[in-house]
Structure 1
Amino acid sequence: MTTNRITDGTERAIIENMLDRNRAALIETVRGLSEADARRRLVASLTTPISLLKHAAGAERIWFQRFWAGLEASECDGYSERDEGTFTVTDDETLAGVIAEFERASLRSREIAARFDLDDTKHMPLEGTVSLRWTLLAMIEEFARHAGHGDILREQLDQAAPRA
């Protein structure tokens, strides 16, 4: 998905565009990787190219499905606990499938966010009272950070690949 950058418009349009651009940037870090490279662990943590997308899908569900929509974990369309399980990719999952999962979770997040105003607030035990604006900005921060992680992993993978 190509998302053109907007620099003028309503605050909401600019924030949502920035979030969508970071979602797209995260997906771009895995495009063209083999299944093996997508799962290759290059750092000590659970972070792999595919697990970054899996984690991002989990973050979408935690913040929008669980927190803003008020769904229970069993009502969400995938894993939505706040722990390292968001990085877990099973052997039967494919890179294309995890990309599609992240895109579905992102679409659902957009639909849920559309029900609220930027100034609407809810209370969350760990963060306190947060607005939708804060949530959208926190997701921008999260996905930008992980897209950077993905860029570094991709650079390592691309340098390790035999050159033609």
Structure 2
Amino acid sequence: MVTNAITTGSERAIIENTLDRNREALIATVRELSDVDARRRLVASLTTPISLIKHAAAAERIWFQRFWAGLDEGECDGYSERDEGTFAVAADESLADVIVEFERASRRSRVIAAGFDLDDTKHNPREGTVSMRWTLLAMIEEFARHAGHGDILREQIDQTAPL
């Protein structure tokens, strides 16, 4: 499903729509990849197409479930530590599984975010005092950047695929 761009209306509607469109753009980079191609390591880092989606799901949990909702790690619906483990994909996880995980985390983020005004703030040990607006914009930035990474990886994979 492609979310249509909202270009007028409330600030909140535009921000949330842009975030949803970036979530979709990230998922689009892995659509129709095989599980083997999704796990291909084409750069020196842990970045693979599937790990980008896994990392995005963790980012959703870190910012919305842990930070804004104040949940403990065990109350989250998956990995929520702020480290390289966010890129770790278990051998038995398929690309479809990881997409579902990201979509589930995104749905939960929407519910949590809806409980706060854009100007509501909390103190973050790394970032200082942040607002919900800042968090939503940071997620837009995060997912747009990773969609770009995904586009490049996908281009490499498609270019090397047999004709």
TM over 0.5: yes
- The residue aligned with 1:14 is 14
The root-mean-square deviation of aligned C-alpha atoms, in Å, is: 0.4
- The residue aligned with 1:30 is 30
Say which SS state the counterpart of residue 41 (structure 2) adopts. Answer: coil
Structure 2: 5+ residue runs without aligned partners?
none
Aligned length: 163
Say which SS state the counterpart of residue 2 (structure 1) adopts. Answer: coil
Which ranges of 4 or more aligned residues in structure 1 deviate by more than 6 Å? none
Say which SS state the counterpart of residue 123 (structure 1) adopts. Answer: strand
* 1:108-119 pair list within 5 angstroms: 108-119=108-119
Q: Give the TM-score normalised by the residue count of structure 1.
A: 0.99
- The residue aligned with 1:159 is 159
Shift of 1:2: 1.1
Say which SS state the counterpart of residue 54 (structure 1) adopts. Answer: helix
Structure 1: 5+ residue runs without aligned partners?
none
Q: Give the TM-score normalised by the residue count of structure 2.
A: 0.99
For 2:62, the aligned partner's letter is I
User: What is the CA deviation profile of residues 77-100 of structure 1, one whole-angstrom value per residue up to 9, with x for unaligned ones?
Assistant: 000000000000000000000000
CA distance in 2, matches of 1:31, 1:10: 31
Say which SS state the counterpart of residue 64 (structure 2) adopts. Answer: helix
Say which SS state the counterpart of residue 130 (structure 1) adopts. Answer: strand
- The residue aligned with 2:45 is 45
Shift of 1:58: 0.1
User: What is the CA deviation profile of residues 26-70 of structure 1, one whole-angstrom value per residue up to 9, with x for unaligned ones?
Assistant: 000000000100000000000000000000000000000000000
Say which SS state the counterpart of residue 143 (structure 1) adopts. Answer: helix
CA distance in 1, matches of 2:27, 2:81: 22
CA distance in 1, matches of 2:83, 2:152: 23
CA distance in 2, matches of 1:46, 1:74: 25
CA distance in 2, matches of 1:116, 1:15: 14
CA distance in 2, matches of 1:45, 1:126: 23
CA distance in 1, matches of 2:87, 2:29: 16
Shift of 1:162: 1.0
